[in-house]
Structure 1
Amino acid sequence: MKINTARAKRRLLLNPALGLGEAYMDGEIEPGSGDLYEMVDLLALNLMEGGTHPFEKLMEKIRWLRRNLDQLNFADRSKRNVAHHYDLDARLYSLMLDEDRQYSCAYFPIGDETLEEAQLKKKRHIASKLMLDRPGLEVLDIGCGWGGMALYLAKEFGARVTGLTLSEEQLLAAKARAKDAGLEHMVTFELLDYRSWTRPVDRVVSVGMFEHVGINHYKTFFDKIRSVLKEDGVALIHAIGRADGPGSTNPWIAKYIFPGGYSPAVSEVLSVVEKSGLWTTDIEILRLHYAKTLEQWRDRFMKNRSTLAKLYDERFCRMFEFYLVGSELAFRRMGHMNWQLQLTKNVSALPLARDYMVDIERARAAIAEQGKMGPIEAASARVKRDLTLHDERKSRQQNQSGGESSRNL
């Protein structure tokens, strides 16, 4: 690492968690050999092996004491925080994200999926946990982004979806997408804080928004979900978490990327859910999926860096590059992960075993694959599937009749 100025040394001494990123943004620190990823990766490995410097531990304690104040995200402050990051030039996200503009952890069950494939599988995976078993179900999408999840649930499952956002840029884009897709009669988007929603719904989904709620407002969030869910309702919350227990937000991330944001440990969330009256019916931990997502975002960002530098400037590009690198390594080295929490109001709202999730997911994947085929290939696949099912039924019948004969003997 090349430290080019005396100010960079002071920054690293007085507040290293903030100073490293700021010094890189200002060109006062450069990778000595290799690139930024290798430099930050080495620092992360050193932290894992040698621990944090005593002075930085003191700074961490101060951040811990301040975290309730830093995360007082009342409605007006939440809207300002969202605008800080999500109301950036739309071309930035178009060049970096997948075609559907999914700005949250993708799902890589195999591991070699493209970004588009992994984001589609993420939507399908979440939909399977919502158990949209009939068309016309009312779904509330809290933190709907650019509308991709809402449009998917309406198109693929016949759901009636209302998406809530605090970003004016996202609202305009989401409404335009619903109109272009001919789904305006099934999907609506509103510039509304979740705390202001009052109408009962069958399902609640929230993807990548809970990190912006703030620890002071967890009770309000889950109480709101319980109050708006119908008696047989289901909710699915997808968020970033940490495996090493409660902590505080990195000060550089809090200042430049996600003000008011925090990724909670599952223990911090469940302790509130337990008091809300909701049932926790399923928990899944996605470990390296976000690391793989960020790797693909970073690759696309770097390929379009010169274009993005014209939209903003070199300092902005260095800031965003540092954010993507640091975030990816947080998932690879520093104990970050994603969790998905399925919740119900009624203990009997869902089947007793979770097989239905896998069944729905596989059925939807088969339908999507069939849609890619021509009519001849699709007909051939149906015949082959019907023959397989016929053979399986015949085999079961033979086994049953064999069993009856054995019992008779």
Structure 2
Amino acid sequence: MFLLSHMMKAFIRKGRLTVIDADGKAHVFSGEPGPEVTMRLTDKKLYRTLVFNAELAAGEAYMDGTMRFENGSNLRDFLALFSMNRLSLGSYPIQKALRAVKMRFRNRQQANRKGQAQQNVAHHYDVGNQFYKLFLDENMLYSCAYFCEDGETLEQAQRNKLRLLAAKLCLRPGMKVLDIGCGWGDLALYLAKLEDVEVLGVTLSKEQQALASQRARDAGLEGRVRFELRDYRDVDERFDRIVSVGMFEHVGVSHYDEFFKKLNSLMPDDGVAVLHSIGHMSPPGMASAWLRKYIFPGAYSPALSEVFAVVEQNSLWVTDLEFLRVHYATTLKHWVERFEKNRDKVVELYDERFARMWEFYLISCEMMFRTGSQLVFHMQLSRNRDAAPIVRDYITDRQKAYRVREKTLNLSL
């Protein structure tokens, strides 16, 4: 417990953390005024593992029930405290040294070669569509929503996001659109209804491809909207527009050149691509060991410097850039609330450990966007500098026009 106590003293700069060890002894660590959390550790092995792999050990301990919270504290309180103090943890000598070693192997951690990429995606997305219906919006959009006003529902905010993306794509009837990482298909279906375009959605998830294809048939759009189980690297058609939402996080830094080179090759000179991705405002790093092991194998949300460098090498113009700084925190809060309402059903489908794993994932992600360094960015790309209008007002104007068109076409939520 000595080494853990030493780290905790350096770690807690804001708030107060009381740790009750396996023998029932309380250890108090405090800094500036802030949240107060009481945590009980029931396994002495945690004294060491928390020092040498804090995020992995904490997540596993919560999943196993060997880390519990008392005196009115809960997981959300702990993760909020953790996020507020994350920089001091990262500067602790042992953590700093271990991070330097792990950074040398991060390309291996982010390997997403063909075949392996599908295995990584299946680990997360093929756990069953029924599970995702328990906490996502009605149209099953699994990415950051866009909240234009206070009090909007998750469904309204997700529609706002689709409308925003459609506006940035500068669509015209008859265009061919590629949706890389199409999820359960709502964006592709929305675009096809809104602007009479032809859309190909590609995904590596069998569950997503099956449900998206069924939705296209149900909507009578199977002639203009296709969903295929295909790696984007195997696509060889040409497209006027390309959109990718929440997929770039699964590419990996060593594959960025491959990704942007492919985008360039699939577009004509006046083509437009819009990339919606998680990133972070801090220097290059790596995903947490717990997230890689249990939630997203091979995943990494990049520093912006890592993206721009490769875009420049592939002769692409960044014609627009926008940051959604707090929208994902609000989105995740909605998901957490819906997850908790259906927690008993999650346990029935899987088990208690699985439910705890997803609680840890959803709440920790919310905190990363609320008090951590995570953000979402929209990057509009083209070969030509003037492929999109040179005054940004068109994005707002198109969104307004699309709101009217949705009502005319009866595009209900």
TM-score, normalisation: structure 1: 0.88
Whole-Å separation in 2 of the counterparts to 1:63 and 1:299: 34
Contact 1:11/1:23 (CA < 8 Å) preserved in 2?
Answer: no
Q: CA deviation at 1:10?
A: 2.8
1:214 is matched with 252
Instruction: Name stretches of at least 5 consecutive residues in structure 2 with no aligned partner.
Output: 1-38
* Change beyond 3 A, Cα 1:236–1:271: same
- 8 Å contact kept, 2:322–2:377: yes
1:131 aligned partner: 170
**Residues 111-165 of structure 1, C-alpha deviations (whole Å, 9 max, x = no match):** 3211000000000001100000x21110000000111110010011111000000
Look up the match of 2:265: 227
Cα distance in 2, alignment partners of residues 219 and 371 from structure 1: 40
- Show the counterpart of 1:83: 122
Mapped to 1, the partners of 2:302 and 2:85 lie a distance apart of 24
Alpha-carbon offset, residue 99 of structure 1: 0.8
Residue in 2 that maps onto 1:71: 110
**Superposed CA offset, 1:61-81 (max 9, x none):** 122111111112101110000
Once residues 14 and 352 of structure 1 are traced to their aligned partners in structure 2, the CA distance between those partners, rounded to angstroms, is 51
The match for 2:382 is 344
Between Structure 1 and Structure 2, the one with more helix by share is 1
Q: Contact (CA 8 Å) 2:90, 2:96: kept in 1 or not?
A: no
Q: Secondary structure at the match of 1:6?
A: coil
In the alignment, which of 79, 92, 98 is matched to residue 137 of structure 2? 98
Partner of 2:344: 306
Task: Give the SS at the match of 1:235.
Answer: strand
Q: Please point out which of 353, 358, 361 is paired with 1:320.
A: 358
- Match of 1:340, SS state, is strand
Residues in 2 aligned to 1:246 and 1:173: alpha-carbon distance in whole angstroms? 36
| Secondary structure in 2 matching 1:75 | coil
**Are the equivalent residues in 2 in contact too, given 1:60–1:248 (CA < 8 A)?**
no
Which shifted more, 308-317 or 36-45? 36-45
Corresponding residue number in structure 1 for 2:282: 244
2:338 is aligned with 1:272: no
User: What's 1:14 paired with?
Assistant: 52
Matches of 1:344 and 1:281, distance apart in 2 = 7
CA positional deviation for 1:369 = 5.0
Indicate if the aligned counterparts of 1:162 and 1:187 stay in contact, CA closer than 8 A.
yes
Q: 1:50 to 1:200 in 2, by over 3 A?
A: closer
Q: CA deviation at 1:333?
A: 1.2
Q: Measure the CA separation in 2 of the matches of 1:49 and 1:78.
A: 34
1:56 aligns with 2:95: yes
Give per-residue Cα distances to partners, 1:18-77, cap 9 Å, x unaligned.
100011100000122321101111122233467542211122212211111111210111
1:245-282 CA-to-partner distances (Å, cap 9, x unmatched) read 21111110010000000000111101100110111100
Report the AA paired with residue 142 of structure 2: Y
CA RMSD of aligned residues (A): 1.5
TM-score normalized with structure 2 length: 0.88
- Unpaired runs of 5+ in structure 1? 374-409
Preserved contact between residue 238 and residue 340 of structure 1 (Cα < 8 Å): yes
The 3-state SS of whatever aligns with 1:280 is strand
Most deviating of 239-248 and 349-358: 349-358
Q: 1:108 aligns with which of 125, 147, 153?
A: 147
CA positional deviation for 1:7: 2.3
Correspondence for 1:256: 294
State the shift of 1:372 in Å.
Answer: 7.2
Amino acid at match of 1:172: A
CA distance in 2, matches of 1:372, 1:48: 49
Aligned residue identity for 2:85: N
Task: Give 1:209's aligned amino acid.
Answer: M
Report the 3-state secondary structure (helix = DSSP H, G, I; strand = E; otherwise coil) of the residue aligned with 2:376: strand
Q: Identity rate of aligned residues, in percent?
A: 48
Q: Matches of residues 373-388 of structure 1 in structure 2 within 5 Å?
A: none
1:356 and 2:394 equivalent? yes
| Letter in structure 2 aligned against 1:219 | D
Residue 193 of structure 2 aligns to a residue in which SS?
helix
For residues 196-225 of structure 1, the C-alpha deviation after alignment (integer angstroms, 9 at most, x for no partner) is: 111111000000000001101101100101
Instruction: Find the counterpart in structure 2 of residue 292 from structure 1.
Output: 330
Counterpart secondary structure, 1:190: strand
Match of 2:158 in 1: 119
Q: Distance in 1 between matches of 2:150 and 2:272?
A: 29
Paired residues of 1:246 and 1:268 also in contact (CA < 8 A): yes
Which string of whole-angstrom CA distances, capped at 9 and with x for unpartnered residues, describes residues 288-328 of structure 1?
01000000000000000001100000000000000001100
Contact 1:231 1:346 in 2 (8 A): yes
Alignment of 1:34-53 (within 5 A): 34-48=73-87, 52-53=91-92
Structure 2 residue aligned with 1:333: 371
Number of equivalenced pairs = 372
Q: Counterparts in 2 of 1:390-405, with a 5 A limit?
A: none
Partner Cα separation in structure 1 for residue 91 and residue 81 of structure 2: 14
CA–CA distance in structure 2, aligned partners of residues 239 and 349 of structure 1: 22
The answer as to whether partners of 1:139 and 1:204 remain within 8 angstroms in 2 is yes
